A and B are shown apart, each in its own frame.
Chain A
Amino acid sequence: MATSTTTGDGTGLVEMAWDPITRIVGSLGIHTKIDFKQKRVAECYSTSSVFRGYSVFMRGKDPRDAHFITSRICGICGDNHATCSVYTQNMAYGVKPPHLAEWIINLGESAEYMFDHNIFQENLVGVDYCEKMVRETNPGVLELAERTEAPHAAEHGYRTIADIMRSLNPLEGEFYREALQVSRYTREMFCLMEGRHVHPSTLYPGGVGTIGSVQLFTDYMSRLMRYVEFMKRVVPLHDDLFDFFYEALPGYEEVGRRRVLLGCWGALNDPEYCDFTYANMSDWGRRMFVTPGVIVDGKLVTNDLTEINLGIRILLGSSYYEDWEGQEQFVTHDPLGNPVDPRHPWNQHTIPAPQKRNFDDKYSWVMSPRWFDGKEHLPLDTGGGPIARLWSTALSGLVDIGYVKATGHSVVINLPRTLTKPETTFEWKIPRWSNALERNRARTYFQAYAAAVALHCAEMGLAEVRAGRTQTWEKFEVPDESIGVGFTEAVRGVLSHHLVIRDGKIANYHPYPPTPWNASTRDTYGTPGPYEDAVQNTPIFEENPPENFKGIDIMRAVRSFDPCLPCGVHMYVGGGRTVKSMHVPTGLSGLAG
């Protein structure tokens, strides 16, 4: 790459782009302008360079194909799409699966959380905090880590913080390799329930094809208890690591920080209450084992799925699509008679308009989903999923299943005795900030949460089997005209599927996974998306001068959201050029050439 080897004098802004960003899923580009004198990121643009067009090619297809197709949206959380699609179809067809099927799906989805958060946390994000990375970016911090005893060494076995960091070194690190193995047996758990990973084979509208047997639950439970034991080491390990960064780098709470604007659409249905009808959605939504919620500045705005549904808006502004204003509106009112906005996913038309990238105008294939609270179009984020899930569940105080209890200000997770470790209780308390470290910490706690909920679901499922209620699928008819919506929490956060059926075929289908919210671009009102917003506020703690700069603080900020796109982040900094003016009409990356 033809970049100059000398840098500016440090007084101006320097452009840097990271593209493609590694250790995430898909391709994300982050383009920034960095003020090295102030040690802050001045500007940030998030761009994605892959378009596939699911909403386009699904039109006219048989609605029963939807979960098989939409699973392919994502290679790490495709099962979340399949699940969400099945929920959507259940509503549209008016079918309620047998209880055992719902417990089986919950166990599959819990295993997905356990697998995905584990591999991402240790093998992708963990590398940002490993000894090799810290040595290359903040040698002073590593030196301190060598001298700092880990407070929970007794639980996890690493004497110093530097020992933890070393264990996270790619491939060479012991914990890094162990986590890879954990990501495998958790996927075995998943495959027991949903057939195969990541695109399930045994999920259907109306239930599952999995045979509910004693063996199924024994095979799952044996692995689950190994994971429970693993979490008893991992939660204290990450607490030690993340707490150390606050201590080693005063002010680190500002990295990746943004206003508390969190969304959670709820996950893991309770079959006792969930009948998949729109009319009862507010009620069964509140019975989910992860409570839905919109949180603004620390306050719960709503935990009502119907309200959440009606507030969703899809804005354009900086993305490569033509607006659908004036096009046919598929759904004017929901089944309860509430008006549905033309910018709601039920009414969206996806009209791709490929064009050159221009950071002053259109620069991404990602749209700008927002949540309208009646006054403002809020750029909610999911914080990668876990922080929003725990926050929402904690505030609502509705979940109480023994293994997990929401208190109104925290979530208490009770893990039973395992092979070599006693009964252990963890309490996730609402943090002071929505920042990179707290997103990461929540990810670890949510792994324990998912395991705890799985214990409950496994007991309930096995009780069904023991009672002889082994049916796992219910017949249904596809109506000629219908609509459906499904809500769940993908691993990375909010996931909704909106379906319109006409003449027995898909007339409209719009899935909204978490990453469109997090990676969204500046909307019609000029409001930046969450990555852009969080990175723009990020101070730089890295010790390297611009010519050796890696941008680790920026990468930590971005990865804390657990990006899952189809294409990289761009930021041009490295040995880059000094930008004379803030206005760069040709696009940031052009300056590197």
Chain B
Amino acid sequence: MNAASPATREEPDASGAPGTDEKPIHILWINAGLSCDGDSVALTAAMQPSIEEIALGGLPGLPKIAVHWPLIDFECGPVGGSDTFIEWFFKGERGEIDPFVLVIEGSIPNEAIKQEGYWCGFGDNPETGQPITTSEWIDRLAPKALAVVAIGTCATYGGIHAMAGNPTGAMGVPDYLGWDWKSQAGIPIVCVPGCPIQPDNFAETLTYLLYQAAGSAPMIPLDDKLRPTWLFGATVHEGCDRAGYYEQGQFATTYDSPKCLVKVGCWGPVVKCNVPKRGWMAGIGGCPNVGGICIACTMPGFPDKFMPFMDEPPGGRFSSTASGAYGAVIRRLRTITAKTVDKEPKWRHTGREITTGYRPPW
């Protein structure tokens, strides 16, 4: 992506943005936690705004940025040679690219539980020739970062790789750095959970932070699990278009039913996520709204507290029984009303007489 960030290459500003002397904000992206790169990939789907709009300054007031992102970076020279991608991370450590935002993707394994070797590494240590572990990079870079952003449920809370029985002792970035950790700029760890992240959720958070860095937005509002409040304040169920079926006590017993899925495994009523409301991309797709049970992939308790996924959540039984009884009554009443409103008023007809209530003057 450096091609779009000419300042990093000391070339004239090809983006045509005003203020070419402005120092860019660097984004150092470490995808080498225990990750699948799914959050990187998902971000390329974002359209509100898109990565090219963020990189090329397509929104007014965005600061100039230089992104060092493994997934699409132009640079890939040999280590120590020309265009070495990893060199930016060493520069960050040496304080040569101030300010920078550190983005971490993937959970952080516990490197202390074994005799030697590494669970995950990113680039090599020139002294030893061995990989530099991801946790060591966090130790080196977090104290110098303007902000630390955890992308995806793995980086935020440990996620699937921190499942019971895992060999690596994986955890999220707040577990590793401490939940009260703040950057030198006073910004707490920013957590954007999701497996993967909903594309626009992350693009929007990143945009917010860039506006904050540019001085045009106040401190990013986060909840006690460090999530942006405007994205993760409501539950799946509150934004699910199948909630009407729930209220009427109509529950699916098969996965191909259009009714509410809580009895076949959906955890939506207790999960903080905006996907049914927002759609997956361009308003298309989602989870329970399109027939996919919510497995709670944005939550700190994911996945263990929600498995087996295809079983009914234990808490769902009581409330669905209640809504079953209440819903049956409601449904009957609604059927009566529905019949009434399904008919046109009687004054819509042909003939010589007008019966709308209008009195003709002729």
Contact = CB atoms under 8 A, between A and B. Distances in A.
Interface stretch (B216-224, B251-259, B315-323, B353-361): B251-259
27 contacts: A22-B70, A26-B37, A29-B131, A50-B119, A52-B34, A52-B161, A75-B41, A119-B44, A177-B52, A183-B45, A184-B45, A184-B47, A196-B286, A197-B281, A198-B38, A199-B297, A201-B291, A201-B292, A201-B293, A202-B292, A209-B292, A210-B290, A211-B291, A352-B167, A353-B117, A473-B255, A547-B81
A88 to B, nearest CB: 16
A544 B36 CA distance: 34
B56 A171 contact: yes
Given A25-B41, A472-B255, 14 more contacts: A19-B86, A20-B70, A29-B131, A50-B34, A53-B161, A124-B71, A133-B74, A171-B55, A195-B290, A357-B130, A547-B81, A548-B81, A566-B32, A567-B32
A62 B165 contact: no
B171 interface: no
Nearest to A187: B45
Interface in A413-439: none
Interface in A564-586: 566-568, 570-576, 586
A354 B307 contact: no
Contacts of B168: 51-53
Interface stretch (A65-73, A372-380, A519-527): A65-73
Interface string A177-215: 100100110011001100111111111101111111000
Contacts of A219: 284
B256 A209 contact: yes
B163 A23 contact: no
A199 B56 contact: no
B263 to A, nearest CB: 13
A27 B31 contact: yes
Nearest to A550: B77
A57 B158 CA distance: 14
A184 B35 CA distance: 22
B166 A65 contact: no
Interface string B70-100: 1111111111111111110010000000000
B295 to A, nearest CB: 6
Nearest to A219: B284
Interface string A122-134: 0110010000110
Q: Name the prevailing secondary structure of the B interface residues.
A: loop
Contacts of A544: 82
B262 to A, nearest CB: 13
Contact of A198 (B41, B79, B114, B127): B41
B120 A567 contact: yes
B32 A209 contact: no
A124 B72 contact: yes
Interface in A1-16: 1-3, 16
Q: Name the prevailing secondary structure of the A interface residues.
A: loop
A326 interface: no
A69 B215 CA distance: 41
Contact of B81 (A52, A78, A575): A575
B40 interface: yes
A398 interface: no
Contacts of B255: 202, 204, 206-209, 472-473
A363 to B, nearest CB: 11
A57 B45 contact: no
Contact of B1 (A62, A171, A208): A171
Interface string A30-59: 000000000000000000011111001101
A265 interface: no
Contacts of A355: 116-117
B61 interface: no
Given A574-B77, A590-B128, A354 B82 contact: no
A220 to B, nearest CB: 10
A466 interface: no
Contact of B129 (A18, A210, A573, A589): A589
A61 interface: yes
Given A22-B71, A587-B130, A75 B36 contact: yes
B292 A196 contact: yes
Contacts, number: 365
Interface string A91-116: 00000000001000000000000000
Contacts of B161: 52-53, 57, 72
Contacts of B119: 50-51, 354
B280 A197 contact: yes
A172 interface: yes
A593 interface: yes
Contacts of A551: 77-78, 81
B146 interface: no
- Of A49, A50, A124, A320, the most chain B CB neighbours within 10 A belong to A50
A1 B126 contact: yes
B81 A574 contact: yes
Contact of A68 (B31, B47, B196, B295): B295
Given A27-B31, A184-B45, A211-B290, A196 B280 contact: yes
Given A69-B160, A75-B196, A473-B255, A20 B42 contact: no
Contact of B165 (A57, A211, A590): A57
B237 to A, nearest CB: 15
A461 B280 CA distance: 23
Given A177-B52, A188-B285, A593-B126, A555 B38 contact: no
A555 B76 contact: yes
A356 B130 contact: yes
A588 interface: yes
Given A21-B76, A27-B32, A198-B196, A76 B285 contact: no
A592 to B, nearest CB: 5
Contacts of A74: 36-38
A286 B36 CA distance: 32
B32 A72 contact: no
Contacts of B14: 172
A356 B121 CA distance: 12
Given A2-B126, A25-B37, A195-B292, A18 B76 contact: yes
A83 interface: no
Contacts of B4: 170-172
Given A20-B123, A56-B167, A50 B32 contact: yes
Given A191-B280, A204-B255, A20 B122 contact: yes
